Structure 1
Amino acid sequence: MSGDHCPDILELSDGSFAVIGTDRTEELDGKLPADASRADYERIVVITRETLLRAKKDIPEA
């Protein structure tokens, strides 16, 4: 409401989550661990540690 833009994690009506963060796909794509991959339609989005820790209390265990 203040006009500020910041990272966020939102639960969607279908139970999945949307992440608003910084698109760093080009920078990080070649640095993914060997056991990680992404499809052409997926992006690597970075959020701050603080954002994830604050969201943790709102993410259900199951």
Structure 2
Amino acid sequence: MTDLLADLHALQEHIDAMPAARATLIGQAREAGHTWVEIGAALGMSHVAAMKAAKPNPKPRSGATQG
């Protein structure tokens, strides 16, 4: 059972890191000359949503407890 909890914790750490990783890739795509429309299409979202995703706003997870 402990391994499952460790796996869940590791997964959550990856999920938490995704917005920053996505923002980095979006920035690289912009630097490479891709338009917001192209980036949005690649992400399955509008160009406006892609612009917002380029600036992740990390929020602390509520209810997270230790122990």
Normalising to structure 1: TM-score of the pair? 0.22
Q: Which is bigger in relative contact order (C-alpha 8 A, separation at least 6)? A: 1
**Which of the two has greater strand per residue?**
1
For the pair shown, which has the larger CA radius of gyration, 1 or 2?
2
**Which of the two has greater helix per residue?**
2
